[in-house]
Homo-oligomer: A and B are copies of this chain.
Amino acid sequence: MFEKHTDTASLKIVEQSAMNAITIDCAIFGFDNGILEVLLVQHAEGISKGKWGLPGGWIKKKESIDNAAHRLLGELTGLDNIFLEQLKAFGDPDRFPLRRVITIGYYALIKREDYDVKAGFTASDAKWYKINEIPDLIYDHNEILDYSLKQLRNRVRQAPIGFNLLPGKFTLLELMHLYEEVLGVAMDKSNFRRKILHMKLLLALDEKQQDVSHRAAKLYKFDPEIYTKLTEKGFNFEF
């Protein structure tokens, strides 16, 4: 289970089977209604009781740090095969108030439609926050989150990881809005359409939007085969 960050309590939680000076903290991004959000969890006890932070936890002695991150992520969201990348290690000597703990930051992208808060986490435990309405977080979690966002903005321009935030089928305009929101820029829909279609990374489906009060747009899906072919040759996702 992802630890609900605690202070003194967390010290007791470290079992024999876990590394005791290294944690994992993860910024989980979701995209809902055109808005980029991040999943935060609330401290249950300790000196930071009531404060919010990134979900995190300990690394077991026998698992790799990537595995630990995937395990923790699965325990919190119930999701497997989530897009997850390591950011870097954060190691200020007094980032953690009680003793020296280095944390390894990760960021994850999930499809909100698949997500469901798991048992053990009530609505008051875990909550989505808009990325420009982030409160004061515990420890150095604001710094980690800022870095995550920076990294997300960089990576999204290098590789088509943005798809991990969208449902399986999406319209070109939804995709464009995602890029606009993540990168914080305005785009021209006509030019975006031309550019993205020209990459041949999308598969046009024989399906259209439903229940919209205007002309329905064609739905597309992302073609992972073509993607891997393109990444081998190296390509650029600038907009």
Contacts and interface: CB of A to CB of B under 8 A. Distances in A.
Interface of A: 19, 21-22, 59, 61-66, 86-89, 91-93, 100, 102, 104, 154, 158, 236, 238
A117 to B, nearest CB: 28
A118 to B, nearest CB: 25
A148 to B, nearest CB: 13
A57 to B, nearest CB: 14
Contact of A87 (B19, B59, B88, B154): B88
Contacts of A22: 21-22, 102
Given A102-B65, A236-B238, A238-B236, A88 B91 contact: no
Contact of A59 (B86, B91, B104, B236): B91
Contacts of A93: 61-64
A64 B91 contact: yes
Contacts of A21: 19, 21-22
A208 B22 CA distance: 53
A93 B102 CA distance: 17
A63 to B, nearest CB: 6
Contacts of A102: 19, 22, 59, 65, 104
Contact of A104 (B19, B87, B89, B238): B89
Nearest to A19: B21
Contacts of A88: 86-89
Contacts of A89: 65, 86, 88-89, 104
A77 B91 CA distance: 23
21 contacts: A19-B21, A21-B22, A22-B22, A22-B102, A59-B91, A59-B102, A61-B93, A61-B100, A62-B93, A64-B91, A64-B93, A65-B89, A65-B91, A65-B102, A66-B91, A86-B88, A86-B89, A88-B88, A89-B89, A89-B104, A91-B104
A154 B64 CA distance: 25
A52 B238 CA distance: 40
Contacts of A62: 93
